[in-house]
Every structure is written in structure tokens, then in C-alpha cells.
Structure 1
Amino acid sequence: MPADLAVIGLGHLGLPLAQAAVAADISTLGYRTGPEAGSLTAAELRRMLARGFRPTANPAELGRVRTAVICAPVPRGADGGLDLTQVEAAARTLAARLRPHTTVILESPVPPGTTEGFLRPLLEKTSGLRAGRDFHLAYSPSRVDPGNRDFHAANTPKVIGGLTPACTESAATFYGRLTDKVVRARGPREAETVQVLETNYRQVNIALVNEMAVLCHDLGVDLWDVIRCAETKPFGFQAFRPGPGVGGHSVAQDLSDTAGRTLRMVELAQQVNGRMPQYVVQRAATLLNEHGKSARGARVLLLGVTYKPDVADLHGSPAQEVALRLMELGASVSYHDPYVPAWSVLDRPIPRADSLYEAAAGADLTVLLQQHRTYDLQGLSVKAQLLLDTRGATPTGAAHRL
């Protein structure tokens, strides 16, 4: 059965897109490109299937759709650059079945120039069709924010950059069925660079407050109160908050992959954010020492090991490095997370606490790494022997804050 849309890549980008399309009554099929992990719950997937979402392993079905959106993951390669292997595989699979008048959109996070210089030749060579004449080609940066209850596909503007004005309009027509607002970029390179700017904006601003957290602790200044006051400024300031590190699927880009240039600010931000798990462990060891205990042999409970609150996604979570470094110091590490039934670090299973309050009461140190809504932080601060809050989520004075 033909479908209006094929989502190629069913990971953290593709599944939310497919979910939004199904909710908009768009006939949607999903084609998996590899061992991808999405952030949707089993219940959400069941609802999608009930509304007609069709996962398929048959590439022939890709040639029977009006619109194909490539959402393949783009991880870091061994050399530190972005690995486009799965984008290439998705493009080759689609190109072999591509029909005239199809609209092809790339949503994977890629360096500027990828749509025109990498994807276009792959599609044209295999299909024998010409982009901009025989089929439409465009780029649209993904703006997925798992767990966000305020912003979703319908009320988040979508940026589109097409190879030609007709390509842009074709992609805009499709996304206009999903969202209230479509923003037209000048072309694919501009749309790709929107994604780079948005991702790096997050990295750089988190790095700033992470550095401020270290500085303010050394100065004896309450950073959380500083942020509370600063965010009352109605212009020129947006509040970011420090944490144990930066996780998630968004990969900071310095543009060196394609432009041969480096964004120094992004490099520095990555260095700052990359040091935060070690800083959390340092603070943990210091707290234990101040209370007459050594990190060696200490019972440490980690709360919330996902990269984001209220989602089950562990991708890039700083909890992994925090746990590893604590174990290297000789600590006995356990964890609690309502979204993670089992967790391992370097193939070593980490014991999961069944009763949160009992585990906190029995631990020498409890470290809040992620502030899931289900956590009663007031009650937790009473039960825990010693509590390090890396998110500033506990009531003032109830815990030691980052």
C-alpha cells in the first residue's frame, strides 16, 4: 500500500517525526537504517501502530511514497569528525527506488554543504534523476526535544532550505501539515548551518554556566541565586543551568569537517563540558572526606542516569563517566532511575536500588544527576545521609549544590 511519507531512520529523530506525521493523519511508513534507539515509550509506539504507522524492512516500499525524510544518526567517528555512513546507506537505499516528483528531505545533523555536496550526487548517480528537475531536495534541521511538555511538532517552527525555490515550496507544503509555522531559509547550506548554530548555542551557554559553577564554588558564591536574579532581566539574557556534563544526541560542530576552520568557542565549550563529570567526582570525594569518610569503600547512590529528565534515553549521559570514576576510586556504586530498569558501565552491571528512600538512607553519599519529576527532592534530602545536587533542584539549604 502506498504511503504519503517514508521516514528513513527510526531513532531519536525519526520516531518523533513519524509520531507527529501519524498524529496529523499522514499515511506513514518507517524504514530502519540500523540498531537505532528512540525516546518514545512502548505505549506511544502502540498508539502509533494503532493509527496506521507501518514499520517496514522492505526497501521497495520507499519507491511508493510522495515524501522521504532521511533521519539517519550521525555519530562521531574515530577521528572525531561526523560519521555520515548511515546517511550514505539510507541515501543509496532510497536512490535505487527513487521516482520522479518525490520530495527528499534530510533531517540528520550534518555539516553545511552535505545536502548539495554529499547527498545530491548519491541520489542522482544511483537513480538517474536530477535534483531540482526530476525530484525535490531540501534540508530541514530537526528540533526534537524529548520530554518537553510545552513544545512539540505542531507549535515548533520548521526551517526549510531547498535546492531550488520549487524544492523549498514542496518541502514547506509537507511540513505545513505538521506545524503551525514554516520558515524558509535561502538554501540548504543556510538550513544546515541553522542546525549547527542551534546545537553550538546550547553547548557554549552550558559551558559558560558550568565554568561559573566551579568559580562560584571556589568563591563561596551561590550560583543558583545568581541565576535566579539574572533571569529577571527582560532582555539580553537567557538562563542556562550547570550540570554534571552534556549528554544527548546533538553533536557540537566546529565546522572543521567541511570548512577547514575551527570555531574556537565551541572547542573550549566541549573542553569545559567534558571536564564536568570529573569535577562532580572531585566534589563527591571532598564531601565524603569532610564528613570523615574515604571515597574508597564508600556507598554512593546515583539518582537519574539518563541524559535528560523524564526520558529513558541514556545516550551520552555523563552518569556513565561519573560512575566509572567513582568505581576507580574504590566506591561501591548503585543507582536509581524510574526509566532505566538495568544499567551497566563498561559491561559491569550496576546494582539498581528498588526502594529510593531506603537506598538514600543507607548510602554514604547520594548524588542527584538527573531531576526526574517523580523524585520527591524534599523528602529525599531528609532521608539521605549526604546529598550532592548537581542540578540545583533541591530546596535551598537541603543539599550541597554543584
Structure 2
Amino acid sequence: MIVPIGPIHPALKEPIRLKLQTEGERVVKAEIEYGYVHRGIEKIIEGKTWQKGIYLSERVCGICSYEHTQTFAETIEKISDVDVPVRAQFLRTIANELDRIQSHLLGNSTFFKSMDHETLFMHVLELREYAMDSIELLTGNRVNMGWNVVGGVRMDADERHFEQILKNLEIIEEGFERTRQLFAEGPALALRCKGIGVMTKKEAIKGRAVGPIGRASGITKDFRNGHYTYDDYFDFKVITRKEGDNYARTLTRFDEIPESISILRQAIENIPKGEVRTPVDLKSGYAMRQNEAPRGEVTYMIETNGSLIKNISIRTPSIANMDSCARYMIRDVPTVADAVATYATSDPCVACAERVAITNEAGKTTIKKIDEVI
């Protein structure tokens, strides 16, 4: 029989429809139905200045919002041959890694909530608040930060900010060890996680899974490797696992947090003096830029005509990860409840998956099909 989940469901943080084909209690196939929060944001950006474009790009995704503005800015900087001051590069890295920590903690807390483990859910959300406080201290805002500009960042930070951020990182680090242990060694959680929602490395490659979802299945790609700032100034280890199940995906996000804390300490200890913004003269041209958002690869392709954005195409990680979840992870899970929990381990963001619009011959705007986006 077909079991529908959503589009409005207590376990779903955003409206989407999961259609599960079951044999008894076991789920043998799953489909995802998109279109409930579609906004066509790429079409809205066309014809705008970069100042309006970067404002809109921050609203593609509410959780990975920072990385969208950085990737947008770096794409325009590539077109216009802009050299970003080194201090601004460090400040961008600090904001990026703080955003990664809060996103990973939120993603795992959502998973724990889907399994009705209220204790871990609340512990992890409490830790996330310290990351959010650090983001607010640095940028002035908690979610849509409005901090990146083409040519650098909007404002500088000083030693008082860095001192409090380091204190918050110590609190996160201490609490993180306890919560990770509760998950990794909890026998009840292990029964619901290990061997559930398995996606092999071959399937992850075929489904184009990215970020922690792909790395939990053995893919080693992390777009911080190859980024000029990370390569030139920071040392970090790419976290991978081989199991490809709910347990591995949750631990991959957990284990990336100490690496982010290490990068943050390197950045704060070695940040140079200097300017945080350089003037920009927008040129005509086309460029593509890729970065590692908390959920995985974000790609921006932008064409400008000298003053306005002529065309923009955005590829977010959620569209590939959610499609991989439906094709491979949910397939053959023991129960419908496990299907919902497995969907949560893909750390889905429906809003950023439904950002693309096309106009047909009749002039009607519709969402692109998944395969066209991927």
C-alpha cells in the first residue's frame, strides 16, 4: 500500500510530501513530491544589482544562509578581478565555521526529535545556542546575517569579540563530548540507527550526494579543500565514514564539529591586521564558484552585463541529498517510523531545494524537475 507522509506532518519541519510504498510495515520504495514552498528566487534576482542580489541570495536557505552570500560574493569577485583583503578572508572563515557548527547541531537535534529522544534533542539545541550567540556577536544577527559584501565583509571585529567566541567554543566542546557519547554508545539509539537507511558509496556517487551525507558513505570530497583561503592558511581533516547508515550520517556531522572548532582557533589566533573591504567596479562576464556549505556543495553561476545580474543559476546541496534519500536511504527500512527518521538524517532543506523556476511557452512559471536540477 501507499503511505503518505505530509505535506503537513509533526515530524516534518517544512512542507513536503513523502510517498512510501510498503509491504506490511517494511518500506520498499519512496518518492518525494516537491512544490509546496517554491519561490522562484533565481528569476527574482535577474536584472538586480549585486547589492540586491546578495540580499536575496541569503534567503535561499535559512540555515546555510551565510555560505550563499559568501559564494555569491566570491563569484562576483571572480568576474570583476577583486582581491579580497586577507583579514576579510579570515573573518569570512570564522563566520562560515560557526555557521557549520550550528547547522550540524540543528541537523542532529532534528534527527533525535524524529526518534522521540527528547533528552538529546534538548542537549544539542542548548549547545547550538552558544554558536548562535557567537554568530550574533560577530555579525550582529543570528540567521540572515547581512555581513558579506562583494569585496569583503561589512564590518570588522576586535579582540573582545574573539575572546567571547573562544569562551563559547570551550562550552560547546565540553558539552559536545557528552552528547556525542550519549548517541554513540546508547544501545537504544544504536538499534534505531545502525544498519538503517544504508546508502553505499556507489549509490551516493550515482545520486550525487554531497557534504556529510556523501562523506558518511565514503565520498572524500570537501569543497573547503581547493578553496584559496583554507588551502593557504588552515589545516583540517576531512571526516569520512564507510557505513552509510543513519548512525554514520549523524556521527559524521558530530565529528566535523571539532574540526570546525580547530579552524576557528587557528583563524582567531592568526588573523592579520588590515582592511576588511575593498572597492569593487563590477565588470561584464561569467563565472562559477563552489563552496562547502554545512549541508554540502553550493554552486553559483552568474553572468553580469557590467551593472546588473543578467543571469544566475544556483545549485544547492539539499536537492541532491533529498533525492538520494528517496532513491536509496529510505528504500528497505524496517518501518514507516524509520523512514521518517532516515529522511531527517539527510538534513533536508525544502526551501533551498525549491528555488529554481522555468517559464514554458505559455508563459506559466513552474518548478524544474529534479533530474533537470541535478
- Report the TM range for the smaller structure's normalisation: under 0.3
Which structure's CA Rg is the greater one? 1
The one of the two structures with greater contact order (alpha-carbon pairs below 8 A, sep at least 6) is 2
Say which structure is richer in helix.
Answer: 2
